[in-house]
Amino acid sequence: MSGSKEQSQLKLILVGLLIAGLFEIIFIRFDELLFNGIAALVCLIYGYKKYATLTGKIVLWVGLFFAISGLISLFVVRAIIFILLLLFLLHYLQKRREPAEIKPSFEGGQEANFVTVHGPVTSRLFGNQSTPEEIYEWDDINVGVGFGDVVMDLSNTVLPKEESIIAIRTIAGNVEILIPYDIGVKLSHTALYGTARLFDQEKREIRNQQIAYKTEGYEESSSRVKIVTSIGAGSIVVRRV
């Protein structure tokens, strides 16, 4: 009961802070935050488009600074950070007084084996990357990228006789996937702002949309690749090689 009561009180506090934050934004600091938001948006868009240049990188960081400083300047954000730090400290002190005892249990008496996967592309916050130009061993891809482009060439690997998975999530960047002609393709793509070009189709604009595509005879293909991508801002290109 006490835990449920504490959660209810915490929810009320967060709702109260949210209302206070909206009041601060709308009635007290609207002009200031509007200018800060526009400046951050302009810098982020310009920095993303010119990211390959030094000026673009600098402008992108300036935009991130404007955005973060604008958020931190809000009383509600600082209050939430303070509450989270306080809850973490209380939780830490409680665990120090009453350390939890954990007894591992493995089904069938066998220990679980965790394997670190080193794929051709990896999760990273900044930077462009691509699969090796030489032959590489295939393993399913599941990566998250902050800012940067990803190019995957499947002609330099051998896909298994089953469904392979490619899952890529990016904040801002372009994704290009090159696929041999004999491979079946199933795609699910989501983007807030960007474009998509699939094989011989015309490039199409995407605004907060999800699109799906599947090649004819996909289920009967001996080798198939399922592509799931999510991009904040950027383009996706899928073509044959």
The model's pLDDT over 213-241, given as tens digits with 9 standing for 90+, comes to 999 999 888 899 999 999 998 999 999 98
Query: Domain range for residue 26?
Result: 2-97
Q: What is the mean pLDDT of residues 132-138?
A: 90
- Number of domains present in the structure of the chain: 2
Residue 111 lies in a domain: no
Regarding whether 163 and 55 lie in a shared domain, the answer is no
CA neighbor of 182 nearest in space, from 210, 223, 142, 153: 223
Regarding whether 138 and 59 lie in a shared domain, the answer is no
Residue written as token pair 């488009």? 49
Regarding whether 10 and 75 lie in a shared domain, the answer is yes
Element (H, E) at 85: helix 75-97
Residue 115 lies in a domain: no
Regarding whether 216 and 176 lie in a shared domain, the answer is yes
CA neighbor of 191 nearest in space, from 221, 236, 157: 236
At 229, give phi and psi (nearest 5°).
Answer: -125, 150
Residue 108 lies in a domain: no
Residue 103 lies in a domain: no
Residue 29 lies in a domain: yes
Q: Residue 141 pLDDT > 50, yes or no?
A: yes
Residue 117 lies in a domain: no
Regarding whether 92 and 12 lie in a shared domain, the answer is yes
Q: What's residue 115's pLDDT?
A: 63
